[in-house]
Amino acid sequence: MYDIIDLNSRKVAELRDIAKELNIARTDKLKKQELVYAILDEQALTTSAKAKADGDDGDKKESSK
């Protein structure tokens, strides 16, 4: 998982490679900062979707005693 500091230190070509790995479309027209935020957004969505799939959506069932 990448953070904003790590992404900002990378070259545009590296960011495009990362975006491609994350299946982000149309990265060839994006500027560096747009790529950084697209990668961060995709990571957030992927992490959120994975947490929901794992059942970690915050809903707790009350146990009956």
Least confident of 22-26, 32-36, 42-46, 58-62: 58-62
CA quadruple 43, 48, 53, 59: dihedral, nearest 10: 170
Among the listed residues 55, 32, 9, 52, the one whose alpha carbon sits nearest the alpha carbon of residue 19: 32
For residues 65 and 59, give the distance between their C-alpha atoms in angstroms, rounded to a whole number: 19
Per-residue model confidence as pLDDT tens digits over 28-57: 999 999 999 999 999 999 888 888 888 755
Reported as a single tens digit per residue, the pLDDT across 7-18 is: 999 999 999 999
Q: Which of helix, strand or coil describes residue 60?
A: coil
Extents of the domains making up the chain = 4-51
For residue 60, which amino acid is it?
Answer: K
